[in-house]
Amino acid sequence: MIKTLNHLPHPHEDGATLAGHFSDLAPPLNDRQAHLEASRCLYCYDAPCVNACPSEIDIPSFIRHIHTDNVQGAAQKILSANILGGSCARVCPTEILCQQACVRNNAHECAPVLIGLLQRYAVDNAHFSQHPFQREAASGKRIAVVGAGPAGLACAHRCAMHGHDVVIFEAREKAGGLNEYGIAKYKLVDDFAQKELDFLLQIGGIEIRHGHKLGDNLSLTELHQQFDAVFLGLGLAASKQLGLPHEDAPGLLAATDYIRELRQADNLAQLPLADRCIVLGAGNTAIDMAVQMARLGAHDVNLVYRRGIEDMGATRHEQDIAKANQVRLLTWAAPEEVLLNAEGQVRGMRFARTRLVEGRLQTTGETFELAADAIFKAIGQAFDGAALSDPLARELKRAGERIEVDEQLRTSIPGVYAGGDCVSLGQDLTVQAVQHGKRAAEAMHAQLMLNVEAA
């Protein structure tokens, strides 16, 4: 349970009723719907949807397989490019990637091909009798992967395919990273993250060791000495701070902490509920937090952002989800003061009105207050510097907070690669993290084989 919210009541509805509020956001296509949607694809030779896909899935090819009733072939095509294609089909912002690039996405056609739902249909209905990818002959090489999130899992699977033995070191009791702990419950239902993990591990050659945290009971120096290559898929584990007094007051916490508890809860009725709440931020995590609080029964949910709607990190699709759940989006307002009651608990927040002056954000001098039983910070994740505290790790070149890597995901230390949210390359998307893991695995495999030939 989240201690800082212990003073709050529980939802009024029972667990079964609440669970119904967190059903699948986008129900899957049935066979007829999938076949009809697949028939809309023009199978473009120079398909712009493929160029817009961070994991380079051959979209026209897998859709053609669906159209010809070869669902297993479609799934194999997807998974060969993105082993986490099932979860990415559910959480990927297809509306700004492949579907936005679809040639049918114009004023005359009205709507793009529903690529994300077709991808989900293929992966969910393939029913492989065995794992579709086989390990190559054992290479004798051992790879260490730090972090069992999308980047780490994708790297591990591709390394295992090449015959390497992989050990994944994971701090938490479950693997899956963001998919297990950080995605809105209504986006990944029915314990899908663990089902996908079980499927991935069927390739063999991958061991997961839980309770191992870099910078705590694990060091990069040791891994570098004991393994032939190391991949760092650390993610962004720390939450950014507001820099205001009373930031540790009961009722104020990081949105990711609450989302994690919600996703792991067996009974949603046991969660603390803020009837009036404020969510600070403008990204998808902020939307996820606000919508889930509304679905738990909060009556007054305000998402507050210091800039305008057009600058929000959340897509228009995500914003529409928030509005459909009666979340109020308030813009041009910056947090100024945390307001406390007589017991020292959060009772609201004072905001300063903001505006742009010659391209710079400034306050107008006006303020307003919002009452709230809890405030959730979704203002971005930060890199946990303690993870890179041992002597070798401190040698890693950094780009700001993040680890600097080249196009092959190589860090400044030979034999050490990194990917996902902890690096400076690409977007902070699940599908991008999967691509990083895959590309890093190919790069380390090529280097290891080159070393073997040279020897």
Question: 203-216, pLDDT tens digit by residue?
Answer: 999 999 999 999 99
Question: For residue 375, which phi and psi values (nearest 5 degrees)?
Answer: -125, 130
189, two tokens: 């239902």
**Of the candidates 286, 295, 328, 298, which has an alpha carbon nearest to the alpha carbon of residue 5?**
298
Residue 176 placed within a domain: yes
pLDDT of residue 235: 86
Tens of pLDDT along 92-123?
999 999 999 999 998 888 899 999 999 999 99
Ranges of residues in the chain with a pLDDT under 50 are none
The Cα–Cα gap between 141 and 156 comes to: 13
Q: CATH number of the domain that 64 lies in? A: 1.10.1060.10
Distances (CA, A) of 233 to 58, 120, 213, 438: 25, 25, 12, 12
> Does one domain contain both 449 and 331?
no
In a domain, 129, yes or no: no
Burial classification of residue 389, based on how many CB atoms lie within 10 Å of its CB (0-12 exposed, 13-18 middle, 19 or more buried): middle
Vertex 75, ends 69 and 78: CA angle to 5°?
A: 130
Final residue belonging to a domain, choices 331, 364, 381: 381
Does some domain include residue 17? no
Assess if residue 131 is contained within a domain. Answer: no
198 close to 255: Cβ distance less than 8 angstroms: no
Statement to judge: residues 309 and 324 lie in one domain: yes
Residue-range definition of the domain harbouring residue 162: 142-237+383-454
* pLDDT tens profile 416-430: 999 999 998 777 789
Greatest Cα pair distance, the chain, in angstroms, is 72
Torsion of CA 239, 245, 247, 249, to 10 degrees: 170
Burial bucket for residue 401 (CB in 10 Å: 0-12, 13-18, 19+):
middle
CA 346 vs. chain centroid, Å, equals 29
* pTM score of the predicted model: 0.94
- Give the span between the Cα atoms of 349 and 329, in whole angstroms: 16
Do the domain assignments include residue 413?
yes
Q: Are residues 299 and 324 in the same domain?
A: yes
In a shared domain, residues 244 and 307: yes
- Per-residue pLDDT at 1: 60
The predicted pLDDT at position 9 comes to: 96
pLDDT of residue 32: 97
How far is 152 from 420, CA to CA, in rounded Å? 8
Answer for the pair 55, 438: CB distance below 8 angstroms, yes or no. yes
Looking at 340, 362, 381, the residue that finishes a domain is 381
Same domain, 304 and 344: yes
d(CA 15, CA 8): 17
How are beta strands 142-146 and 229-232 bridged, if at all?
parallel
326 and 292 co-located in one domain = yes
Residue 57 lies in a domain: yes
Residues 173 and 208 in one domain: yes
User: Do the domain assignments include residue 95?
Assistant: yes
Output the domain CATH number for residue 296. Answer: 3.50.50.60
Other C-beta atoms within 10 Å of 80: how many? 15
| Angle (nearest 5°) at CA 393 between 391 and 397 | 120
Tell me how many domains the chain contains.
3
177 and 208: one domain? yes
Distance, CA of 426 to chain centre? 14
CA distance 255 to 369: 21
Asked whether residue 161 is assigned to any structural domain, the reply reads yes
Residues 164-208: tens digit of each pLDDT = 999 999 999 999 999 999 999 999 999 999 999 999 999 999 999
59 and 156 both lie in a single domain: no
159 and 208 together in one domain: yes
**Which tokens sit at 280?**
């600070």
What's residue 251's pLDDT? Answer: 97
* Same domain, residue pair 254 and 356: yes
Task: Please say which residue of 381, 416, 431 terminates a domain.
Answer: 381
Q: Identify the pLDDT of residue 2.
A: 83
- 291 and 369 together in one domain: yes
